[in-house]
Amino acid sequence: MSVGRFVPYVLKQVTRHRGRSALTVAGVAIAMFLFTAVQAMNRGVTVATQERAGETTLVVYRADRYCPATSELPQDYQSRIERIEGVVSAIPVKVVVSNCRTSLDVVTFRGVPKEAFLAERGGAMELVAGSAEDWKRRTDAALVGETLATRRGLRPGMTFDAAGITAYVAGVIRSDNPQDQNVAYTALEFVQLAGRDRLGIVTQFNVTVEDPSMLESVAAEIDGTFKTAQEPTATFTEKSFIGRIADDIIELVGFARWLGIGCLAAVLALVANAIVLSVQSRIGEHAVLQTLGYSSRLVALLIVGEGLVLSLAGGVLGALAAYVVARLGSFALAVEGVSIPIEASLGVIATGLVVCGTIGVLGGLVPAWQASRREIAACFRAA
């Protein structure tokens, strides 16, 4: 006999004790919303900072500096870097941020030499709106990352102000690199001139090397080259550069993991509490089921099933809400010109639901076991 035919019974028990179930589901949903949000942040840290095989990008920064406002390198380092063995290209980048502190809504401008940038990085990006020609033609044009565009409601043809710069949106780009997703690429001179008159000064160089195995040696060679120069350099792989700049955020997100675990504990307590109360108020009912011939194991299974349904219902609601909010809000934690995206991926949601379902079962297990152990006749006397 399949247990499937008892599913309607379990669902009726949940849906027809409406008030009680709604409160439990709401509680689970809130906890799962928070849990999913924390997971999405953790996922974002992983995506932004974990090295992937095949990556070939180095970031050359001013040694001992941690902020784009203070990292100043002569633009003419470019030719010296490009002469180093194994370097494919070095793109000078001037970074200007609207807010130097950690924030969910930082606008980051990256001034780049347009032709070189398109030649080197164009292939890794997809233009989802607007035109690249427009970007090349206009001096104040920006290619805006999708996350930033969604968050600020930017569409091609609009202009926007941030960090004292007024830029024209020529196009919206999509990229696998979370950094691209949250910046506005403009002409190098445009950004250099926008603030103070600092032509010839850039924040960093983004260097592409021939082969991932050369990252370390090339980085060492670059730093060696400028060791005694007026502006010495510190060179990192792109991901470890982000890890270094955003270490505060990463630490906070790491701590938030504990909040996530707290959310799970809350779900467990909620579901267990709901099931304990529901089982206690239905001792007689479960004794009736057993009198009808339901085995104690089946009764336990039905009780566990109720916990599972409650927690899954709450889990789906909470995770979906988190997903929708993260998607619509297009949040990214940004600091000093680097971004940690909040990645509410379907994988994060699926993990959340599996965890939630498991906790639902755990929450029902003890009360189910207790209920199935009771002596039937004694239950009727108590009721």
Partner 1 sequence: MALIECRGLTREYKKGDNIIRPLDGLDLDVERGEFVALMGPSGSGKTTLLNLVAGIDSPTRGELTVDGVALGSLSRNKLAAWRAQHVGYVFQLYNLVPVLTAYENVELPLLLHALSRRERHGRVMTALQRVGIADRHDHYPRQLSGGQEQRVAIARAVVTDPTILVGDEPTGDLDASAAEAVMALLGELHDDLGKTIIMVTHDPKTAACAERTLHLEKGRLVREAGAMEGAAV
Ligand X SMILES: Nc1ncnc2c1ncn2[C@@H]1O[C@H](COP(=O)(O)OP(=O)(O)O)[C@@H](O)[C@H]1O
Q: Which of 213, 297, 324, 347 binds partner 1 (CB under 8 A)?
A: 297
Question: Which of 24, 71 has the CB closer to partner 1?
Answer: 24
Q: Write the binding mask 323 to 362 for ligand X: x where contact by CB under 6 A, - elsewhere.
A: ----------------------------------------
Do the Cβ atoms of 359 and 311 come closer than 8 Å? yes
Question: In sequence order, what are the beta bridge partners of 129?
Answer: 172
Do the Cβ atoms of 89 and 120 come closer than 8 Å? yes
Question: Which of 258, 380 has the CB closer to ligand X?
Answer: 380
193 vs 212: CA distance, rounded Å: 35
Contacts 24+ apart (CB under 8 A), 17-22: 17/278, 20/274, 20/277, 20/278, 21/274, 21/310, 21/313
Question: Which of 265, 277 has the CB closer to partner 1?
Answer: 277
Residue 1 binds: one of partner 1, ligand X, none (C-beta under 5 to 8 A by kind): partner 1
Q: Under the phi-then-psi rule, with left for phi > 0, alpha for psi from -120 to 50, and beta for the rest, what region is 74?
A: beta
Cβ 295 to ligand X shortest distance, Å: 21
Q: Tokens at residue 296, please?
A: 């104690």
DSSP letters spanning 320-362:
HHHHHHHHHHT-EEEETTEEEE----HHHHHHHHHHHHHHHHH
Site for ligand X in 166-225 (CB under 6 A): none
Question: Which of 255, 380 has the CB closer to partner 1?
Answer: 380
Q: Under the phi-then-psi rule, with left for phi > 0, alpha for psi from -120 to 50, and beta for the rest, what region is 153?
A: left
Assess 52 for contact with partner 1 (CB under 8 A).
Answer: no
Q: Under the phi-then-psi rule, with left for phi > 0, alpha for psi from -120 to 50, and beta for the rest, what region is 111?
A: beta
Which one, of 301, 270, 251, 302, lies nearest residue 41 by Cα?
A: 251
Q: Which of 10, 13, 142, 146 binds partner 1 (CB under 8 A)?
A: 13
How many of the chain's residues bind partner 1 (CB under 8 A)? Answer: 25
Assess 380 for contact with partner 1 (CB under 8 A).
Answer: yes
Assess 374 for contact with partner 1 (CB under 8 A).
Answer: no
Which amino acid, residue 315? G
Q: Which of 64, 123, 346, 377 binds partner 1 (CB under 8 A)?
A: 377
Q: What are phi and psi of 174, to 5 degrees?
A: -125, 140
Query: Which residues, 6+ apart, have CB-to-CB distance to 19 below 8 Å?
Result: none
Residue 261 binds: one of ligand X, partner 1, none (C-beta under 5 to 8 A by kind): none
Assess 17 for contact with partner 1 (CB under 8 A).
Answer: yes
CA-angle at 110, arms to 101 and 228, nearest 5° = 85
Assess 259 for contact with ligand X (CB under 6 A).
Answer: no
Which amino acid, residue 331? F
Q: Tokens at residue 125, please?
A: 């990006």
Q: Write the binding mask 256 to 295 for partner 1: x where contact by CB under 8 A, - elsewhere.
A: ----------------------------xx-xxxxxxxxx
User: How many other C-beta atoms can be found within 10 angstroms of the C-beta atom of residue 57?
Assistant: 20
Assess 378 for contact with ligand X (CB under 6 A).
Answer: yes
Residue nearest to ligand X (CB): 378
Question: Which of 5, 196 has the CB closer to partner 1?
Answer: 5
Question: In sequence order, what are the beta bridge partners of 204?
Answer: 61, 93
Cβ 375 to ligand X shortest distance, Å: 7
Q: Per CB under 8 A, which region of 2-10, 35-43, 198-206, 264-272 contacts partner 1?
A: 2-10
Question: Which of 1, 53 has the CB closer to partner 1?
Answer: 1
Cβ 381 to ligand X shortest distance, Å: 6
Question: Which of 157, 284 has the CB closer to partner 1?
Answer: 284
Assess 7 for contact with partner 1 (CB under 8 A).
Answer: no
Residue 283 binds: one of ligand X, partner 1, none (C-beta under 5 to 8 A by kind): none
Point out which residues bind ligand X (CB under 6 A).
Answer: 378, 381
Point out which residues bind partner 1 (CB under 8 A).
Answer: 1, 5-6, 9, 12-13, 16-17, 284-285, 287-297, 375-377, 380
